[in-house]
Amino acid sequence: MSFPKEFNAKDLKSGKILEFSNESWCEQTQSDDIREGEVCFNESTNKFNIWFNGTIIFASEHMGNVKNRLKKLLVKWKLEFKNW
């Protein structure tokens, strides 16, 4: 599992949003159990947030913690990056 090279705190702090979903896996398996999420930076709390299916499931001030949590999420739900 590898992250896009550009996936860093600076880009997220400048307003970029990292989106991910299991849409590709659902198409391959003909499943309708689509999972979606995003990673973004919240300026008011000064934290990076992981949104998953419309709910914040993780928030941290440190990018390393976000990447570790995201790796587990990507593997568990067979997620792929959509826009980075």
In a domain, 2, yes or no: no
In a domain, 1, yes or no: no
Q: Give 24-56 pLDDT, tens digit per residue.
A: 887 888 887 888 999 999 999 999 999 999 999
In a domain, 31, yes or no: yes
In a domain, 24, yes or no: yes
In a domain, 57, yes or no: yes
In a domain, 3, yes or no: no
pTM of the model: 0.85
For residue 26, what pLDDT is reported? 77
In a domain, 4, yes or no: no
Handedness of CA 38, 41, 43, 46 (dihedral sign): positive
Report the domain count for the chain. Answer: 1
In a domain, 56, yes or no: yes
Structural domain span for residue 56: 9-81
